[in-house]
Chains A and B, each alone.
Chain A
Amino acid sequence: MNIASFAPLAVVLPILGAAVAFLLFRHARAQRAVSIAVLSLTLLLECFLLASVWDGGTAAVNIGGWLPPWGITMVVDQFSSLMLVVSSAVSLAVLVYATGQGMADGDRDAPVSIFHPTFLILVAGVSNAFLSGDLFNLYVGFEILLTASYVLMTLGGTGPRIRAGVTYVVVSVVSSVLFLVSIAMVYGATGTVNMADLAIKLADLDEGTQTLLHVMLLVAFGIKAAVFPLSFWLPDSYPTAPAPVTAVFAGLLTKVGVYAMVRTETLLFPGDSLNTPLMVAALLTMVVGILGALAQSDIKRLLSFTLVSHIGYMVFGLAMSSVAGLGAAVFYVAHHITIQTSLFLVTGLIERRGGSSSVDRLAGLAKLSPVLALLFFVPAMNLAGIPPFSGFLGKVGLIQAGIELGTPLAYALVIGGVLTSLLTLLAVARVWNRAFWRKPTDAEHPDPVLLAKQGESDAGGREGRNNVTLLPRTMVGSTLGLVVLGVALTVFAGPLFRVSDQAAEEMLDRSSYIQAVLGEDTEVPPLALKAGGGQ
């Protein structure tokens, strides 16, 4: 009995947990305990999964004993298990943070009992998308996580959230329809939706059909991943949601889109047929995204724009289809999930302490709350790519791979990447200067909470809400945990880079994946291109 046979539990556990949590809607404390316990168990299981494929190899589980290509297959390889571990660790931190926020605000009066079950369903959907070895099951995973995210996005049903929710829901549904249309076309062309089977059969189609299917899949995933021309919806919809929700969306949802793009590019359509358009899209995503960030004064919106911009780095790594580039992209995804989530969590804390998330209304936080300053500074520098943090290492990996490739477009992307990194530094430095360094009295429209005296502020300076704690220990603790995880990615960058390079090598080689699903004696069709540059 292999540990990989337990892989479906990564989906089943959160769903069961959601059911139990939903039944416990009258008992807020029990609900919290159940969700945190379930998510910790899932994380533990996923750590075992990662350990089982740490040295390479791929394992496939056939649900219900139906053999591929007819049944539903779940595939555990290095990339998917790495994504699972990082995403569950991040969601656990966010759940603890949200629990802390709920307890600090005394939500026993008005409990929104659906938060915990919905959050667990979201985690189940993300795990399902990462594990799926089947195009239609991937679609189902997307729908599970999207439906949960619609609910979380409009939680509380206030005006701005409903307005943002409409955009988000309509765009997501349209991208899902596109995905479903491409699945229908893929099925019509090949008669299968199993990804390993498709990897073999798609190669036999004529070139025009291949390009059509390829482009349709990439557009559908590009909307979800927020790649430049399709990224307009993200900065509009993310910032209005509650801080923990925005944090988990920013960390996970776009990365699921990136994950699907990686699978499409490496497994289904290997080769470099669409690399040039992808590289151009990556360049535009980076530059346009970060220019948008510079125009913002609200920290949440600013971070949403940097999120879009940094998706460009991952697409850049993917578009090089070399081991070095793809490996750096895998590393960058793991880094970016952690860092972006912790920054949004810190912004939630800033909003509590300073009363606002707009840099026009914030000031002097460094003196008011040095812990908060530290919590913001470390991930912000990490995001901007200041050495020695993991953001720097990931970008160096990408730039090295770009120079190794050596085409003019690759050089343009290298320059664009460096420029984006500098502009990110400018954007976060502006937040730092205005929100943390200047004096409170210099703020344009200071918030009353910000100006409350130190003594009374800990008891809560806001009128009528004297029981509100400004910085509850649970929230600070979970944010600190994520920031430490981000630093740990820097410390253990060596082993992590080794795993991501191996994962990239296996994904580009494809034989491990296909043979794990379809049996050892399956013949893997030769690749159109040589197996990557940086061996």
Chain B
Amino acid sequence: MSVNLTLLIVMGALYACGIYLILERSLTRVLLGLMLLANATNLLILATGGYAGLAPFYSKDTGANEYADPLPQALILTSIVISFAVTAFMLGIIYRTWVLARQDEIQDDIEDLRVAETPRFDAEDDAEIPAETSEFPLTMLGGDGTGISDHADHAESEESVPAGAKNIPAKDAAAEEQPGSQNVTPGPEGGVK
């Protein structure tokens, strides 16, 4: 069995570079890595076809054993088309990231950060004196309600803005207008909900 050693070495190098590149944080490098991986796989498929041979259906007299196996080449064609589409799409996404964020890097997940920053202490569940949420508050502690708060550290912001029937701290209100906020997502068919 004779296998084309050059092809195999090239394939190995492509895989190595591809894997190295997709571990980068820069999106363009990730894309290059994916392209290298796809092409390395194409070479792998070619290698599975076995010996090099004549083109199939070349002439009537060619013996069945002299053909190259045509199936891997058909598979490679399909896979090239697919990776072409994916590459084009990734380029679009990278351009969009650049337009939106002016950077070519994968960004941290906002929601993950939020969960990570959530304090262990939850006023509703963990406070020794549970946060008062009933209709008859302020009767237990001195009557003026000091010492009862949803926020354990009494970090009431000085400024507050009205939101509906209730005032919320200004820092929270600012967060609500950011593009990542859950409130300003467009509908599936465009427009803004």
Known: A174-B22, A242-B188. A169 touches B165 (CB 8 A): no
Stretch of B33-41, B58-66, B138-146 lying at the A interface: B33-41
Residues of chain B with a CB closer than 8 A to A458's CB: none
Q: Is B156 an interface residue, CB under 8 A from the partner?
A: no
Q: Is A403 an interface residue, CB under 8 A from the partner?
A: no
Asked if A98 and B189 make an inter-chain contact with CB atoms under 8 angstroms apart, the answer reads yes
- The A/B interface has a contact count, at CB < 8 Å, of 174
Stretch of A152-160, A312-320, A497-505 lying at the B interface: A152-160
* Contact code string B48-84 (vs A, CB < 8 Å = 1, else 0): 1000000000000000000000011001001100100
A163 to chain B, nearest CB (A): 5
B27 to chain A, nearest CB (A): 7
Residues of chain B with a CB closer than 8 A to A159's CB: 100-101, 179-180
Asked if A188 and B48 make an inter-chain contact with CB atoms under 8 angstroms apart, the answer reads yes
Known: A160-B179, A452-B164. A170 touches B115 (CB 8 A): no
Q: Is A204 an interface residue, CB under 8 A from the partner?
A: no
Contact residues of A: prevailing secondary structure: helix
Q: Is B127 an interface residue, CB under 8 A from the partner?
A: no
Q: Is A3 an interface residue, CB under 8 A from the partner?
A: no
Asked if B180 and A162 make an inter-chain contact with CB atoms under 8 angstroms apart, the answer reads no
Minimum CB distance partner of B85 in chain A = A147
Asked if B96 and A451 make an inter-chain contact with CB atoms under 8 angstroms apart, the answer reads no
Asked if B193 and A442 make an inter-chain contact with CB atoms under 8 angstroms apart, the answer reads no
Asked if B187 and A158 make an inter-chain contact with CB atoms under 8 angstroms apart, the answer reads no
Asked if A184 and B188 make an inter-chain contact with CB atoms under 8 angstroms apart, the answer reads no
How many Å lie between the Cα of A242 and that of B163 in the bound state?
25
Asked if B186 and A184 make an inter-chain contact with CB atoms under 8 angstroms apart, the answer reads no
Known: A160-B180, A187-B48. A102 touches B89 (CB 8 A): no
Minimum CB distance partner of A167 in chain B = B106
Partner of B166, one of A157, A295, A446: A446
How many Å lie between the Cα of A111 and that of B192 in the bound state?
11
Asked if A107 and B41 make an inter-chain contact with CB atoms under 8 angstroms apart, the answer reads no
Residues of chain A with a CB closer than 8 A to B93's CB: 154, 162, 165-166, 169
Asked if B48 and A185 make an inter-chain contact with CB atoms under 8 angstroms apart, the answer reads yes
How many Å lie between the Cα of A243 and that of B185 in the bound state?
10
Partner of A295, one of B115, B179, B186: B115
Asked if A112 and B190 make an inter-chain contact with CB atoms under 8 angstroms apart, the answer reads yes
* Contact code string A275-302 (vs B, CB < 8 Å = 1, else 0): 0000000000000000000011010010
Known: A98-B189, A105-B189, A163-B107. A298 touches B182 (CB 8 A): yes
Q: Is A377 an interface residue, CB under 8 A from the partner?
A: no
Q: Is A106 an interface residue, CB under 8 A from the partner?
A: yes
Partner of B187, one of A101, A184, A450, A451: A101
How many Å lie between the Cα of A98 and that of B193 in the bound state?
12
Asked if B97 and A166 make an inter-chain contact with CB atoms under 8 angstroms apart, the answer reads yes
Using a CB–CB cutoff of 8 Å, the interface residues on chain A facing chain B are 98, 101-102, 105-107, 109-112, 115, 136, 140, 143, 147, 150-151, 154-163, 165-167, 169-170, 173-174, 176-177, 180-181, 183-185, 187-188, 193, 236, 239-240, 242-245, 295-296, 298, 301, 351-352, 355-358, 438, 441-442, 444-448, 450-452, 465, 468
Pairs of residues from A and B, 10 with the lowest C-beta to C-beta distance, nearest first: A451-B164, A188-B48, A102-B189, A242-B188, A112-B190, A110-B190, A156-B186, A184-B45, A107-B189, A184-B44
CB<8 Å pairs between A and B, sample of 22: A101-B188, A105-B191, A111-B189, A140-B82, A147-B89, A151-B89, A158-B179, A162-B93, A162-B100, A163-B97, A163-B106, A170-B34, A173-B37, A173-B38, A177-B38, A184-B72, A184-B75, A193-B71, A236-B109, A298-B182, A446-B164, A468-B193
